[in-house]
Structure formats: structure tokens, C-alpha cells
């Protein structure tokens, strides 16, 4: 079987036939396929190790979005989500984007920020200077805590210092910049922040309090781009409508919140399927959307000189492929195998691409037939059998 994700009529197959197609595409073992077929891969022992006070396992449907072409590579996208039509909409819009050459994505290094709060400093600007002057020593102290990460080229790389005026007086806030490579990074960053805090406080002549990662991961960004022929979305009128929909979100935070919710429909579904921390990704996305002092859309849509629809998206994506539930949850391991991603950056690029495509699907439906006729049709069919959808 050829490795294409363009699978017309995938939705018409039975779950078993779909699983067979996915298993062939991803080279799943019989054991892995059987686990998916069971509709619930978390046994009592595994769940009990993951969190406290376990009494059961809570399930979400896992669907596969087809047709995705990202950076010239075909992907089948596992999506864990309770909302109907999201997977269908993603597959449909991925087919449209495919006609224009697919989606392209780039990412920065996996740089996360650990914050150390220092209080009671009489001369905070002198303290800032002194901390920066002793940067090398502090970085070495941090890196002693994670030789494994340092061994693969990661670790604490830099320090930034801000003097922050607060309700309890000025604070010196140190940012430890850590390359976490293929991890989400919270564990490594928190350990390092705790390790360097006493030394930072003594250099500053104050006392430390909080030592914790920042979820505003604005040094760990993905940037995504796609170009869609207008006939794919229903003609130049609909393409223009999509740009008008974006302009609405750009001008009005009430609309921007919903616009970004549509992006997160796609983003979260893959973040959850791969066992990643979706609260961290959500917090980062919305803080980033508000970084200019006003809540803004994470994507943009414009028309190029040929009338093609051009979409771009930029957002932080702190996701990993090692550690945490990405490894301990067997279903997350299978989803990562279906995706076939080799690095956390590749995973982030794929997730960003899904976010932009999901946004295209929503804006197209809103600009054309309206959400109730399109997007919500399946929902009505499923939950209100009497509805004439
Ligand atoms: C529904 O889950 C998501 C949408 O509201 C997104 C949007 O309005 O752009 C359709």
C-alpha cells in the first residue's frame, strides 16, 4: 500500500476497516491494533500509576483525520475529541489545502522558560547586572541537574532578568532558558529553576519564592502556512468571506475567542491523543494571543495576487514525545506511531498545521452555508434522531 494519507471514502468504512487501513499505513503490530480495537487501552495498573486516587478511566472517541500533507509528507492524524464534525471538517479542509500543495510548517528550538522570583532586593537593577555577570556559573549549576538532557545537546542555555513592579514592590524575575529537546520540559525546567534559586537570591541580595516553568512558551513557536485555490473553498466569494471572517476576529476579541477556539479544536485533539498536557498548550496559546495587550486571532487569512487564499498561524506549542503520559499511556504511544513523528518539533509542526486547517474548515463553513447546516449537521443527526439534517 502506498503511503498516502489521501483516502477518499475513509468515513464510509466500518471502524474495523478504518483500523486496518491505519494499521497498514503506520505499521502497527497486531497487539497495538488489538488495543485500539478494545476501545480503551488503560488498564487499572497503568492508570493507578499515572495519577492519584484512581477509580476508573475516562474515555474519549479517537478518530483519524485523513488527507494531511505537511512539509511534503503524508500524515494520518489521530484526534481524541468529544465534539462531532471536527475530524470530518479537518479531513475535508486538509483535502482543500492539499490542492494548493499542502501545509508548510517551521518551528523554533524547544526553548522553555523557568521563572525564579526574587523579593526583598534593595537595588534590583544592580542585582540584574550581577546575575547576568554570573550567568555562566548559574547555567552550569542548572545543567548539573540534568546530564541526560545536556548529553543530547539540550540544557540551560541562557538567562534573562526582568525587574517587575508589583503590588508588593519590585521583584527581580530571572528567566532560565532551557532547551528541552524532545520533552515537554516542565520537569527538567522546574528541577533546574529550584536548583539555581538559592544562588540567584544570594547574588541578588534577596530571597527567592516561586520557581516554576512559564506556560507562555514564546520561545517555542510553530509557524504554519498554506495556500488554497479559491475554487476549493467554494469560489472567490467564499474566499473573500474567509478573509472578512478573519478581519472580524482581528478587530473584535469576542470573535477572536471563538476563532481561536476553532483552532484549538484541532490542536487539543492531537495534543490529547499524544498524551500531552493540553492545559499547558491552552494557557500558552491564549497568553500568546494577548501578548500585544489585546486578545487577537492566532491565524491570519489574506488573498494573494491570484486570488488564492493564504493562511498563516503562529503559536507556542510545548509538546513532547518522551516522558510523562506520552510514554506511560499505551494509546498515546500508538498515536505517536500513527503520526510517525521523529521529534517533538515535528509533532509541534503537525499540530500547528492541524490547527490552521481546522480554522480553515470553520471559517469556510461560517462564510458559506453557516455552521448549523455544515459543521453541526452530524451533531444533530447523532443526538436528535428526529432532526432532518
Ligand atoms: C465550534 O466548535 C468552533 C467554531 O465556533 C469556530 C469558529 O467559529 O471559528 C465553529
DSSP character string of 235-248: SHHHHHHHHHHHHH
Quick: pLDDT tens for 314-335. 999 999 999 888 888 999 999 9
* 232 annotated active-site: no
**Is the same domain home to 100 and 118?**
no
Burial of 225 (0-12, 13-18, 19+ CB in 10 A): middle
**Is the same domain home to 186 and 278?**
no
**Is the same domain home to 235 and 364?**
yes
d(CA 115, CA 126): 19
How many beta carbons lie within 10 A of that of residue 87, not counting itself?
26
Pairing of strands 207-214, 309-316: unpaired
Task: Report CA(359)–ligand 1 centroid distance (Å).
Answer: 8
Quick: pLDDT tens for 227-256. 999 999 999 999 999 999 999 999 999 999
Task: Read off the CATH number of the domain in which 93 is found.
Answer: 3.90.770.10
Query: How far from chain centre, in Å, is Cα 169?
Result: 35
Catalytic residue among 128, 181, 259, 375: 375
Instruction: Answer whether residue 305 is part of any domain.
Output: yes
Q: Which of 11-25, 34-48, 351-365 has the lowest mean pLDDT?
A: 34-48
Does residue 265 have its Cβ closer than 6 Å to ligand 1? yes
Instruction: Answer whether residue 237 is part of any domain.
Output: yes
**Is the same domain home to 131 and 244?**
no
The residue among 213, 242, 262 that closes a domain is 213
Model confidence at 289: pLDDT above 80: yes
- Look up the domain containing 23 and give its range: 13-50
- Its sign, for the CA torsion 121, 122, 124, 125, is negative
Does an H or E element contain 379, and which?
helix 377-383
The residue among 190, 213, 236 that closes a domain is 213
Among residues 105, 25, 98, the alpha carbon closest in space to that of 71 is found at 105
d(CA 308, CA 19): 35
Provide the pLDDT for residue 233: 97
pLDDT band at 382, cuts 50/70/90?
Answer: low
Provide the pLDDT for residue 29: 97
Task: Report CA(89)–ligand 1 centroid distance (Å).
Answer: 11
* Pair 389, 380: CB distance under 8 Å: yes
- Ligand 1 atom 2, closest CA: 262
- What DSSP designation does 355 have? H
**Is the same domain home to 324 and 249?**
yes
Collect all residues with Cβ–Cβ distance below 8 Å to 3 and sequence separation of at least 6.
Answer: 25, 74
Among residues 121, 351, 361, 115, the alpha carbon closest in space to that of 228 is found at 361
**Is the same domain home to 289 and 199?**
no
Does residue 261 have its Cβ closer than 6 Å to ligand 1? yes
Model confidence at 36: pLDDT above 70: yes
**Is the same domain home to 97 and 121?**
no
* Pair 228, 236: CB distance under 8 Å: no
d(CA 363, CA 380): 20
How many beta carbons lie within 10 A of that of residue 74, not counting itself?
19
**Is the same domain home to 365 and 242?**
yes
**Is the same domain home to 197 and 250?**
no
Point out the ligand 1 atom lying closest to the alpha carbon of residue 359: 9
- What DSSP designation does 305 have? T
The residue among 162, 188, 213 that closes a domain is 213
Q: Is the pTM of this model over 0.75?
A: yes
Model confidence at 40: pLDDT above 70: yes
Rounded average pLDDT over 185-201: 98
**Is the same domain home to 172 and 117?**
yes
Does an H or E element contain 44, and which?
helix 44-50
How many structural domains is the chain composed of? 3
* 83 annotated active-site: yes
* 122 annotated active-site: no
The x, y and z cell numbers of residue 186, run together, are 516542565
Catalytic residue among 73, 83, 123, 130: 83
Instruction: Answer whether residue 1 is part of any domain.
Output: no
**Is the same domain home to 97 and 123?**
no
* 252 annotated active-site: no
Does residue 71 have its Cβ closer than 6 Å to ligand 1? no
Model confidence at 386: pLDDT above 50: no
Amino acid at each position: 500500500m502506498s503511503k498516502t494519507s489521501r483516502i477518499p471514502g475513509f468515513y464510509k468504512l466500518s471502524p474495523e476497516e478504518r483500523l486496518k487501513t491505519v494499521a497498514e499505513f503506520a505499521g502497527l503490530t497486531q497487539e497495538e491494533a488489538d488495543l485500539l480495537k478494545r476501545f480503551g487501552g488503560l488498564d487499572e495498573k497503568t492508570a493507578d500509576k499515572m495519577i492519584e486516587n484512581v477509580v476508573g478511566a475516562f474515555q474519549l472517541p479517537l478518530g483519524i483525520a485523513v488527507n494531511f500533507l505537511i512539509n511534503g509528507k503524508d500524515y494520518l492524524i489521530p484526534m481524541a475529541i468529544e465534539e462531532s464534525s471536527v475530524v470530518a471538517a479537518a479531513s475535508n479542509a486538509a483535502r482543500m489545502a492539499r490542492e494548493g500543495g499542502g501545509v508548510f510548517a517551521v518551528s523554533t528550538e524547544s526553548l522553555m522558560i523557568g521563572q525564579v522570583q526574587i523579593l526583598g532586593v534593595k537595588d534590583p537593577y544592580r542585582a540584574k547586572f550581577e546575575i547576568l555577570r554570573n550567568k555562566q556559573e548559574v547555567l552550569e549549576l542548572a545543567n548539573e541537574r540534568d546530564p541526560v538532557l545536556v548529553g543530547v545537546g539540550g540544557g540551560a542555555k541562557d538567562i534573562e532578568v526582568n525587574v517587575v513592579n508589583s503590588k508588593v514592590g519590585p521583584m527581580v524575575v530571572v528567566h532560565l532558558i532551557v532547551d528541552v529537546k524532545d520533552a515537554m520540559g516542565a520537569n527538567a525546567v522546574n528541577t533546574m529553576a529550584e536548583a539555581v534559586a538559592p544562588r540567584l537570591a544570594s547574588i541578588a541580595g534577596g530571597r527567592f519564592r516561586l520557581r516554576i516553568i512559564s506556560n507562555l512558551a514564546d520561545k517555542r513557536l510553530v509557524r504554519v502556512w498554506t495556500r488554497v485555490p479559491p475554487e476549493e473553498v467554494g469560489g472567490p466569494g467564499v474566499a473573500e468571506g474567509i478573509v472578512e471572517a478573519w478581519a472580524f476576529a482581528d478587530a473584535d476579541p469576542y470573535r477572536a475567542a471563538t476563532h481561536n477556539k476553532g483552532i484549538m479544536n484541532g490542536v487539543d485533539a492531537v495534543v490529547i491523543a499524544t498524551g500531552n498536557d493540553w492545559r499547558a498548550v491552552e494557557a500558552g496559546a491564549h497568553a500568546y494571543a494577548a501578548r500585544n495587550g489585546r486578545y487577537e486571532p492566532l491565524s491570519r487569512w489574506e488573498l494573494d495576487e491570484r486570488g488564492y487564499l493564504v493562511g498563516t498561524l503562529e503559536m507556542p506549542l510545548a509538546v513532547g514525545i518522551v516522558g510523562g503520559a506520552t510514554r506511560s499511556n499505551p494509546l498515546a504511544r500508538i498515536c505517536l506511531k500513527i503520526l510517525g513523528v521523529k521529534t517533538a518539533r515535528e509533532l509541534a509542526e503537525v499540530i500547528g498545521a492541524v490547527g490552521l486547517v481546522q480554522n480553515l474548515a470553520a471559517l469556510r463553513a461560517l462564510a458559506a452555508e453557516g455552521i448549523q447546516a455544515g459543521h453541526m449537521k452530524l451533531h444533530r443527526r447523532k443526538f436528535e434522531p428526529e432532526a432532518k439534517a
